[in-house]
Amino acid sequence: MKTAYISSFVYCKDTPTEQDVEDIKLLPFLKVKRLPISIQIKAICSIFGEEIFTGSIVEVKFKAPDGEVLVQYDWHLDEKMLKSSDGRVPDALVLNLTLASEIERAGIYTTEIFIDGTKLGEYKFHIMEM
C-alpha cells in the first residue's frame, strides 16, 4: 500500500529559489482594497512517502468559499520526470504552486492536495476586503 504525507505547506509572496529558501516571505492572509480582483498566490508544498511517486497522480485544487474549484493542477508522475541526475527516484516531492484566479468575494479559500485520489491535506487562506 502506498503511503504519503505532507510535511509542510505554506502560502508565500514569491516562490523561492534554492538560493533564497531560507528567506521565504509568508503570506498568512490577503487584504484587498476592492473585489473582484485578479490574484496570484504562491504556495510551497513538501510531500514525503516511500516509493509513492512513480506512476502516481498528484492533484491540487484551489477552491472558493462555496467549494467552486478555481484552479486545478493534475500531474501524472513517471520515473523519467522524477529521476535525479544520479538516476535515483526521490522519496520527497516539492511543489512550487502559482494559484492565479479571479476572486469575486471575500472569505476562506482552500487548497486541497491529493495523491491517487486520496486527500493528503487541506489548507485554508483568508481573503479580506478593506
pLDDT tens per residue, range 56-84: 889 999 999 999 999 999 988 877 766 66
For the chain, what are the domain ranges? Answer: 5-129
Instruction: Look at residue 60 in the predicted model and tell me its pLDDT.
Output: 96
Cβ neighbours, 10 Å, residue 81: 11
Instruction: Look at residue 62 in the predicted model and tell me its pLDDT.
Output: 96
The tens digit of pLDDT for each residue in 4-49 reads: 889 889 998 776 555 555 667 778 889 999 999 999 899 988 888 7
Q: Which residue has the cell 473582484?
A: 36
| Average pLDDT, integer, range 119-124 | 95
Would you say 130 and 32 are in contact if contact means Cβ atoms under 8 Å apart? yes
Q: Please state which architecture CATH assigns to domain 5-129.
A: Sandwich (2.60)
Cβ neighbours, 10 Å, residue 93: 20
Tell me the C-alpha distance between 104 and 116, whole Å: 31
User: Could you tell me the CA-to-CA distances from 77 to 21, 38, 107, 117 in Å, in that order?
Assistant: 24, 30, 33, 14
Tell me the C-alpha distance between 72 and 42, whole Å: 14
| Average pLDDT, integer, range 105-128 | 94
Q: Supply the Cα-derived Rg of the chain in whole angstroms.
A: 16
Q: What is the pTM for the complete model shown?
A: 0.85
